Structure 1
């Protein structure tokens, strides 16, 4: 079966649909070095103590690294970091390509190319198509890069329309929004390895139940959620911070520092309001939400609240079409996972578009082979929606029972077998590289060899590679067999 594609009418408007509140405008730059206030230090200390002895040791180490890194960045203006990443890009033979970013992040150091190879996005169908999956994994991957690169890649490389980007403090939550034809995409950034606040969010493994209110009484239906993920998106700004609590990135790539306009407005409220304004201006738009790792968890929390919150205009709920996550950790309890699963299964069978095609909400959770992140936190108090798309070198498999595909024991066995195979392949491949006078690839191969699969498989570039059906450039090149998808799920 071929992939279904629809013809679209590009919407145009002479006036912008949405105007942000008045604020002071400044070029995007790092805030000056600000020493924490006493209240802020006590807040960090309470976070450290909450994680227990081992968590506290890890958090203290990360705190020291982050503290000295922030001093270095404040004094040197980030020039050293940019220089190192540029040297890495040069060392790997990159640069001079418009589809690449100017300063590659650590997460994307293996592949900083953001070229879209498919055409026809978006495809409005309940089946998973390669076109949609490719754009959404690239958006999740792009979220790790500099905010100025967000705008350039979306507008110049992808030739899509920029809506807005946001960086929230002190939560550290970053998200950008863009649209193309009949899709508006909301992409959340995942965990930056050297960002202290991202790790504090990840380690806050207590469960928190949202309380219903007069405005949104149905939030109680969501059940318990990971406290760190919930607070990062649903908690009002911390007024003790002396720097602006969020920045808005406009279409010109300039960051606007926004003040504490209203402490009752959460990051979720701000992003949702912007999406709603775009939906009011264009009745043909449908919402696609995506993210990788921590961004995947934030995407699921965001999408769940979109589906449950009061919508008197009937503007948002019928037009939330795709929640597509990559490497998502367990985000909530059984009730939360069941809510998303039921929302997808119910609406898939009940919504018919104006053209007679089935259009509903689809929750697609990708797990790449031995990726460890979808297997944590342990399934004691946390749960996943049972259905997910399992990726490996041979293609995909739709699994309808979490315990069948996310076994830790299976990961350990596969890791041992893979380590043995790579140990044999590494010297042979390196000899071939040197024979062809490629002196850099053996070093990259060795770096990849040192990474266990449970980490290597978590990189967004690995999700992108398997979704596109490309061979591993470092191992198993000769063993790769091209596969053809039998149904229009991938490709």
Structure 2
């Protein structure tokens, strides 16, 4: 950062720091002196924070060579010691156990802190009707209304004939022959459904009691179909409404270190189906999902072992027939208890898990997330439809999740997968494992909707999903959400399917994959040179309607972190309107802000890239 850069930095810092003071002056004129003094103080605090960041940056910039030199010397000094300790049969394991134990204690402390943080935030938002406190992710916006009849439909996204008509009337100058338009497949998307699934992704961050309360209020069959699941440190739930089944994965819990360990395990792992390669995927996400249960039909007359959900259980028999039997059986029992406790305590220290969501009496290490979900969904598919007894095989309008009267046979299931952040990555991984194992669930798969999901695999992985399946896959990116753009190294590529970009003004634009190569469109890089966060005009207009906590989060966290909160996706889909479907040939970065759209299209035409745009008019 040169002299000019320093001037720009301090100029922007001064403007941003002055905003609370200007608002405080306005309140001071209205007689609210104490609030004004607080805002004046916050201006000094924010400016001091900018100065601290500048000093830290300059220190790091000029001191980096010295730091590297110091670390290199430390490395040369400790390397032979570490090598000898690792080779030791006694000291090596002991030191490793101590380090793992310290990590385990920190892990459990942070997990328990989740309750304390929820209780603290509850002072601002109160308790939910289920008598549970709201999580950190949703404390700023604790609204869980899952359906909204005012969300308009986009007919050409709902109806094939409407889409074909739009294609014929939407040839653009860059696509004079209509080539790309002819190749374009209809994205099978529903905005009301996307909103409902976004709220479900928001809801999964809460306690099970709160989730069940809200699902029951929304008309889901909680009593018969709801199933919460956990595998080590990832969580999900399954529920059904009118033959629509949803599988919802939870994103990163800010107070679960193991979630971050999963996120940061970014090594690429090659995977393949029985017939072909599927590219490379994020090793942390892939391993977190676990493997499918073996589909082996038991032979006639054979016995099948049943694994209890309570995990491994130790049975002890004591005998008091005589003094000798009393003492010997007690000693034997004591040995078994000590062995059992030592073995399993060591197991949990080595691989700490978060059992708080499912409860401490449930085994969440023996059955993979994939096998739990697949088995439960297949069980739901075998149950009769809700209206089958009344209507037989006749078609009937089902309201379902998309909030429309869809005609289909009673008993015909539809299966949707969804998730936010880490949950979105797990949802994509689940679908990939369905393809890899040729799961029967592929027959009822109806859509994958993810929100703010990170990248999961390489370019080959993103293209391996067939066009028919890609037309049902939608990854949403809200404005400058940083998680939707990472990892941007090590060969990672944009997620499969259609990019659904939601701008700060809540305009929604679709970017389907390239019709020739099935290559998905990447979201544009974060725009640091445009006004974002508290400086964005659309955000400023929404501030009076936002809660105190949400405004506080906007002040405390940078805009690219704030844009990742699930509430932004819910609000954008509830209040937003689908404006365009953009199809391009060649490399293209989607998700342009309204202010940039005309400039980007002109740039495409100047580069002679072929593209086609369908303008969509949403109707009630």
Normalised TM-score (structure 1): 0.65
1:84-104 CA deviation, whole Å, 9 max, x = no partner?
Answer: 424423324x44x64x77221
Q: Distance in 2 between matches of 1:245 and 1:68?
A: 12
Change (3 A) 1:258 1:120: farther
Q: Distance in 2 between matches of 1:490 and 1:131?
A: 12
1:3-55 CA deviation, whole Å, 9 max, x = no partner?
Answer: xxxxxxxxxxxxxxxxxxxxxxxxxxxxxxxxxxx989959989xxxxxxxxx
Partner of 2:138: 108
- Are the equivalent residues in 2 in contact too, given 1:140–1:290 (CA < 8 A)? yes
1:418-475 CA deviation, whole Å, 9 max, x = no partner?
Answer: 267269998x999xx7xxxx9x95675243133222111100011101111179xxxx
Q: Distance in 1 between matches of 2:483 and 2:236?
A: 20
Partner of 2:524: 407
1:342 deviates by: 3.2
Query: Out of 175, 180, 188, which is 2:249 matched to?
Result: 188
Q: Distance in 1 between matches of 2:212 and 2:93?
A: 36
Q: Distance in 2 between matches of 1:44 and 1:455?
A: 35
Partner of 2:558: 452
- Are the equivalent residues in 2 in contact too, given 1:201–1:232 (CA < 8 A)? yes
Say whether 1:395 aligns with 2:507: yes
1:399 deviates by: 2.0
Say how many residue pairs are matched: 374
Partner of 2:398: none
Say whether 1:148 aligns with 2:209: yes
1:322 deviates by: 0.5
1:107 deviates by: 1.3
Say whether 1:85 aligns with 2:85: no
Task: Give runs of aligned pairs for residues 267-282 of structure 1, distance below 5 A.
Answer: 267-282=369-384
Q: Distance in 2 between matches of 1:271 and 1:234?
A: 11
Q: Distance in 2 between matches of 1:222 and 1:446?
A: 44
1:392-434 CA deviation, whole Å, 9 max, x = no partner?
Answer: 11410112479976332x42223xx2267269998x999xx7x
Task: Give runs of aligned pairs for residues 163-178 of structure 1, distance below 5 A.
Answer: 163-169=226-232, 172-178=233-239
Q: Counting helix residues as a fraction of each chain, which structure ranks higher?
A: 2
SS of alignment partner, residue 224 of structure 1: strand
Task: Give runs of aligned pairs for residues 212-291 of structure 1, distance below 5 A.
Answer: 217-218=274-275, 221-234=277-290, 241-242=347-348, 257-258=362-363, 266-282=368-384, 283-291=411-419
Say whether 1:319 aligns with 2:447: no
Task: Give runs of aligned pairs for residues 22-61 of structure 1, distance below 5 A.
Answer: none
Query: Out of 507, 512, 532, which is 1:418 matched to?
Result: 532
Say which one has the larger Rg: 2
SS of alignment partner, residue 167 of structure 1: strand
Normalised TM-score (structure 2): 0.52
Task: Give runs of aligned pairs for residues 91-102 of structure 1, distance below 5 A.
Answer: 91-92=124-125, 94-95=126-127, 98=129, 102=132
RMSD: 4.3
Structure 1: segments with no counterpart, 5+ residues: 1-37, 47-59, 349-361, 472-484
Task: Give runs of aligned pairs for residues 342-491 of structure 1, distance below 5 A.
Answer: 342-345=467-470, 362-384=472-494, 385=496, 387-392=498-503, 393-400=505-512, 406-408=523-525, 410-414=526-530, 417-418=531-532, 421=535, 444-469=550-575, 487=616
Q: Distance in 2 between matches of 1:246 and 1:153?
A: 24
SS of alignment partner, residue 428 of structure 2: helix
Q: Distance in 2 between matches of 1:185 and 1:424?
A: 33
- Are the equivalent residues in 1 in contact too, given 2:272–2:279 (CA < 8 A)? no
Change (3 A) 1:490 1:163: farther
